[in-house]
Amino acid sequence: MIEILFYLLSAITLGSAFITILSKNPIHSAIWLVVCFFSIAGHYALLNSQFLAMVHIIVYSGAIMILMLFTIMLMNLNISNEISKPLVTKIVATIAFCLVGLVLVSALTQTAPAFDAYVNSGQDYQSIQVLGKVLMNEFVVPFEMTAVLLLMAMIGAVLISKKDKKIA
**108 occurs within a structural domain:** no
User: In percent, how much of the chain has pLDDT > 90?
Assistant: 21
Q: Does pTM top 0.85 for this prediction?
A: no
What's the average model confidence in pLDDT over 39-63? 86
Domain count, the chain: 2
In a domain, 116, yes or no: no
98 and 129 fall within a common domain: no
Alpha helices by DSSP H, listed for the chain, are: 2-22, 26-46, 50-56, 65-75, 87-110, 128-137, 140-161
Residue (of 3, 70, 1, 89) closest to 30 by Cα position: 70
Q: What is the tens place of the pLDDT at every residue in 112-152?
A: 766 667 677 676 666 677 777 877 888 888 878 888 887 88
User: Structural domain of residue 134, as residue ranges?
Assistant: 124-163
pLDDT for 42 equals 93
pLDDT of residue 7: 95
Same domain, 49 and 129: no
Cα separation, 164 vs 158, in Å, equals: 12
Residue 117 covered by a domain: no
Q: Do 21 and 76 have their domain in common?
A: yes
12 domain residue, yes or no: yes
Question: What pLDDT score was predicted for residue 49?
Answer: 82
42 and 87, same domain (yes or no): yes
1 and 42 co-located in one domain? yes
In this prediction, residue 82 carries a pLDDT of 58
Same domain assignment for residues 52 and 128: no
Residue 75: CATH number of its domain: 1.20.120.1200
pLDDT at 10: 95
119 found inside a domain: no
Q: Are residues 36 and 81 in the same domain?
A: yes
**Together in a domain, 30 and 90:** yes
Res. 9: pLDDT tops 70 = yes
